[in-house]
Structure 1
Amino acid sequence: MDASPPRKRRSFFAYASAMLGLLSVFAVLCFHFPELLTSKEFRAVYSEDFARHLLLVGLIAAFILGTVSILRDRNKRIAAVGVGAATLAVLIGGTNVQFDSIGQTPYSLGLDWFVISLFFSALVFVPLEHYLGKRRVSPLRKGWRTDVAYFFMSHVLVQFILILVTASTSTIAGLAAFPALKAAIQSLPVWAQFLIAVFVADLAQALLHRAYHNIPWLWRFHAVHHSSREMDWLAGSRIHFVEIVLTRSAVLLPLLVLGFSAPAVNAYVILVGLQAVVAHANIGVRFGWLEYLLVLPRYHHWHHARQQDYIDVNYAIHLPLVDMLMGTFKLPRDQGEWPAEYGVMKLETVPEGIVAQHVMPFQGGRKFERYVD
């Protein structure tokens, strides 16, 4: 019997074109319906001119990358999606969509937050992982579509997540008032408040994180996050909606109770957003003694290791000191030693796909025929 023809390699240009084309369509929709599709909080971070120039760059890149891929006969259908989506974005207005002042609505989606965040995250981490990665893993590795769906969910639903987190913490924070302690903390310089906030928030997160691993019904939610079989910047997005709300509430509550100033809390929010991505990234740089001061990729990768003696260690996301105090610090001294495999110990307990994974925690720990692998 003749051997089957070798499978063509996926074209990065084609998939990049498809991503940029679809993001361009989303961006144009944001210009058409800014009240409904853009986040008020995030709109304050960028200007209208910046958004229009970024859209123009995305459109041009989608056309060029898609055309090159088609001419090279590489993933022509995927490339056609990119070129077609970019064409659609131009036809429905492109960078010329005009709008009046943005009104107020009871709710809005963070589609702008998704578009800009995905664009710049991919722009930074895809080449970074290509050149500095510990493992040779394609950005289009198995499961990437599921992780993009999680990335979409957590960014687009950012306002609803904030509403749920605020509702779950504001009442408790109001009851647990410590005026003298709040005054003492707020009298400190912002940099000192920031450092204390990082430690307090990380301790709260680590305690809940350990509970996720040791309480069966909580583990079923957290198992979704650990189901990624490859670790990269996108894998950290795979988090069950319930876990997002629980974790952010657990972190926000002590910060509200202790009364940290808004600048200190905002600085912490920026840090956690960056470090959560970096900790999961496929970056094999040797950081030396810094690995004992900050949670860096190798540290958190060992937490995700599919290895029995690492299933109850390295819960911190910022400071290894927190794990040292909890007695859960563990890291091979050899900086060249990394996990051989990632994922949950019982693969068959986590199904494939974002919808099935969101239903899974409510199914009593059953096993699935189509599971992560």
Structure 2
Amino acid sequence: MRHLYAPAFSFGFIGLALYLVGAGVSLLCLPALLPLAILLAFLAERLWPYRAGWNDGHGDGARDFIHALVNEALNALGIAAIPLLALWLPHFGLWPSDWPLALQLLAALLIADLGITLVHYASHRSALLWRLHAVHHSVTRMYGFNGLMKHPLHQMLEALGGTLPLLLLGIPVEVAALLAFAIAIQLLLQHSNVDMRIGALRHLFAWAPLHRLHHLKYGTAGDVNFALFFSFWDRLLGTALYLPDYVLAEDDLGIGDRPDYPLAYFDQLAEPFRRVEVVHPPAPLPVALRRAGVGVR
């Protein structure tokens, strides 16, 4: 099951969503499927945990639920606004509406993933963007639900980077809804605490064994594996990293020089706009990571 989990979860839920929408079922079936995916993700994390301690709450469960609720509501509003945006935004009518729905979704995933990945990459290079993105990196454990833990302003910036090209091309509402659902499924897999074994699929999909390394708390050691869906973007950016022999410790995650980062939801919303003097030294890179060839750039 550790080898089958990621492809079965991803292709199973996205494939089911494609089937239902293609069969003419209301788009409301997609938000109805998401709680089932979350429930199965939680169950798998308890059956096959990567780190057992990450299944224990850190006082973050209610906060992460609020983050997820707000950000998914923003996604839903964005999808609902597509017909209005189509009236306001110029579009070139280039969307391949005659393609099968699955190919349309694949095209949307490739385009959106590139835009989101570039915004994500920029968020580790720009001090201003990092202040917003740091909310997501403040997590000290990884489990499926905290993939949706983002500052809403950063969520909107990533969404803009991923969807503006699609809107200009004239993406249909049903494809946009499928895209939003696929992103939610991918975030569950990227941040999963399941001890999944993805083998050669790591060359294509940016699932948890790759993305966990992005959350390392040691200086800029985590400036790797930025892609949301497709890991080949990181090879093109020169930021790909895979450490099959390194098992993350339970305290490897977070922001090394901000162990005092606020935990409460509204404090996290306000944190990017506060003047903060960093007085904590960077967390030292563990010997095992230095031996694995990871260095602070």
- Regarding TM over 0.5, the answer is yes
CA deviations over 1:155-188 (Å, ceiling 9, x no partner):
456555657x769x9389823x334xx06x3344
Equivalent position amino acid for 1:339 in 2: L
Bigger Rg, which one: 1
- Aligned partner of 1:268 in structure 2 is 179
Within the candidate set 72, 85, 88, 1:170 is matched to 85
Preserved CA contact (<8 Å) 1:161 1:245:
no
Aligned ranges for residues 318-333 of structure 1 at < 5 Å? 318-332=229-243
Equivalent position amino acid for 2:247 in 1: W
Preserved CA contact (<8 Å) 2:79 2:176:
no
Within the candidate set 167, 179, 184, 1:256 is matched to 167
Aligned ranges for residues 131-150 of structure 1 at < 5 Å? 131-137=47-53, 139-142=55-58, 143-150=60-67
With over 3 angstroms needed to count, the CA separation of the structure-2 counterparts of 1:309 and 1:357, relative to structure 1, is: closer
Aligned residues: 253
With over 3 angstroms needed to count, the CA separation of the structure-2 counterparts of 1:315 and 1:138, relative to structure 1, is: closer
With over 3 angstroms needed to count, the CA separation of the structure-2 counterparts of 1:265 and 1:116, relative to structure 1, is: closer
| Higher RCO, Cα 8 Å, sep 6+ | 2
Normalised to the residue count of structure 2, the TM-score between the two structures is: 0.74
CA deviations over 1:319-341 (Å, ceiling 9, x no partner):
01111122221112x2x423331
- Aligned partner of 1:351 in structure 2 is 262
- Aligned partner of 1:211 in structure 2 is 122
- Distance in 2, matches of 1:162 and 1:189, equals 21
Matched, 1:45 2:29: yes
Q: How far apart are 1:220 and its partner, in Å? A: 0.7
With over 3 angstroms needed to count, the CA separation of the structure-2 counterparts of 1:317 and 1:329, relative to structure 1, is: same
Which consecutive residues of structure 2, in runs of 5 or more, have no partner in the other structure?
Answer: 1-24, 281-297
CA deviations over 1:352-371 (Å, ceiling 9, x no partner):
211111001111344599xx
Aligned ranges for residues 202-351 of structure 1 at < 5 Å? 202-308=113-219, 310-332=221-243, 334=244, 336-340=245-249, 341-348=252-259, 350-351=261-262
Q: How far apart are 1:261 and its partner, in Å? A: 4.1
- Distance in 1, matches of 2:51 and 2:217, equals 16
Matched, 1:130 2:46: yes
- Distance in 2, matches of 1:364 and 1:224, equals 15
Higher-helix-fraction structure: 1
Equivalent position amino acid for 1:256 in 2: L
RMSD over aligned CA atoms reads 3.2
CA deviations over 1:80-117 (Å, ceiling 9, x no partner):
xxxxxxxxxxxxxxxxxxxxxxxxxxxxxxxxx6x985
Which consecutive residues of structure 1, in runs of 5 or more, have no partner in the other structure?
Answer: 1-40, 47-112
Preserved CA contact (<8 Å) 2:86 2:170:
no
